[in-house]
Amino acid sequence: MTQDSGTTASATAGPATGRTYWLEHAWLGDRVEPGVTVTVGVRGDGGARGDGRVTAVTPGVPAPPPGAEILRGLTLPGLANAHSHAFHRALRGTVQVGAGTFWTWREVMYSVAERLNPESYHRLARAVYAEMALAGITAVGEFHYLHHAPGGTPYADPNAMGEALVAAAAEAGIRITLLDTAYLSAGFGEPPTAPQRRFSDGTAEAWAERCSLLEEQDHARIGAALHSVRAVPARELATVARWAQERRAPLHVHLSEQTAENEACQEAYGRTPTRLLADHGVLGPRTTGIHSTHLTGQDIALLGDSGTGTCMCPTTERDLADGIGPAAALQRRGSPLSLGSDSHAVIDLLEEARALELNERLRTRTRGHWTANALLRAATADGHAALGWDGAGTIEPGAPADLTTLTLESVRTAGPPPRLGAETAVFAATAADVRHTIVAGRHVVRDGAHTLVPDVPHALARAVEALRP
Ligand SMILES: [Zn+2]
């Protein structure tokens, strides 16, 4: 952790030591404080380590100091969207017509995947990430498997698609962890189907070779992903796990989202997907299982005891009729929780946090499985940790200056006392209540408007229309 103690002592107020924000109310991880100044290092202040990072946090400041930028409302650390497939945004609305299952939905999703190229993907992702910034999201985990041209031919630049996503995040002003995904088979022992050919590098070795060419940037981390146990043969799992371990990079995997996958895994390997991952060295504190919906008690113990994280995507899980995963039991056993908007049926991390608790209430017919503070930690600090942004997602000296401010004066949020800001944020606010989004000390969203992408709805409409058949 880089902690700029040299600048902390002097940086209590005033712009001389960097930029100062005055937060009318701030959520500090376990409580809401009124009147907090946050000072952010700028270039030349603490060197590169101070740049865009918080250098001091001072509660008990009743009025904005001269020169401070005022953030009215409730300011949270930036939200982390730990699981995204940017191109699924093109399916919004259109997949709500008619009946079906996850597997029929997937056919529609593949038809969009077939039409993307690096240019159209860049345009779409830039708009989607701008939508995320408007929703207060400051870091996204992009689970990326659309690697090659249709049919599977590599582009001249073999990482053209991944680089398009990294560039899109920069232009939308948010951080990205590109979770470059190994996707090698259609099912257990089956080669990729026609639409899946562009996902596949052939072998995990070839996947690793291509991934190793990707470069990290200030706003971009490179991580790894295994699409699922059906898409990566067991003999290839360790290669991907080793690649991530050597780089201390995050490793994500779709886990037991569907009972059909569990059954096929039992048939192929005589064990559950979780057990299979454990046996091939995939589990551990830098690994995150996505969905983890249909688990056995033993699976929960394996995940919790190894410190493997769990990313729940409740709005997608309910949209796809997946089921309700055992998030509470996983966390009790030691698995840190994060949240993702996954298929982008909606992009609203507050709704994801709320849904986690409300799903559990419906399932158990009791209330209060998580506090609002615990749900916000999943949406902030633990989400960032799952994406390899250690120390982010808190308002503390040394943390990246990533902030999200919600209005407490909308029709949804007016009324409750500000000290119940966390409860209001989780159980009443929506993405529409985000007024400011700040990334590395820069306003990406100001007063509800994106500062880099001028008309986000228009950008989304154009990018989605371009993909219609
Ligand atoms: Zn997913």
pLDDT tens per residue across span 272-300: 999 999 999 999 999 999 999 999 999 99
pLDDT at 47: 44
C-alpha 326 – ligand 1 centre gap (Å): 17
C-alpha 343 – ligand 1 centre gap (Å): 7
> Taking the model in full, what pTM does it have?
0.94
370 — pLDDT class (breaks 50, 70, 90): very high
C-alpha 449 – ligand 1 centre gap (Å): 28
C-alpha 228 – ligand 1 centre gap (Å): 10
C-alpha 142 – ligand 1 centre gap (Å): 9
C-alpha 73 – ligand 1 centre gap (Å): 33
pLDDT at 44: 56
Q: How do residues 7-22 score in pLDDT, each as one tens digit?
A: 333 333 333 457 999 9
Q: Is the pLDDT of residue 315 over 90?
A: yes
Neighbours of ion ligand 1 (CB under 5 A): 342
Percent of the chain with pLDDT over 70: 95
Q: Is the pLDDT of residue 4 over 50?
A: no
pLDDT (mean) for 320-333? 96
pLDDT at 50: 56
C-alpha 305 – ligand 1 centre gap (Å): 24
C-alpha 19 – ligand 1 centre gap (Å): 38
pLDDT at 243: 98
pLDDT: is 440 or 3 the higher one?
Answer: 440
The residues carrying an active-site annotation are 291, 342
Please answer whether residues 124 and 85 qualify as being in contact, where contact means their C-beta atoms are separated by less than 8 angstroms.
Answer: no
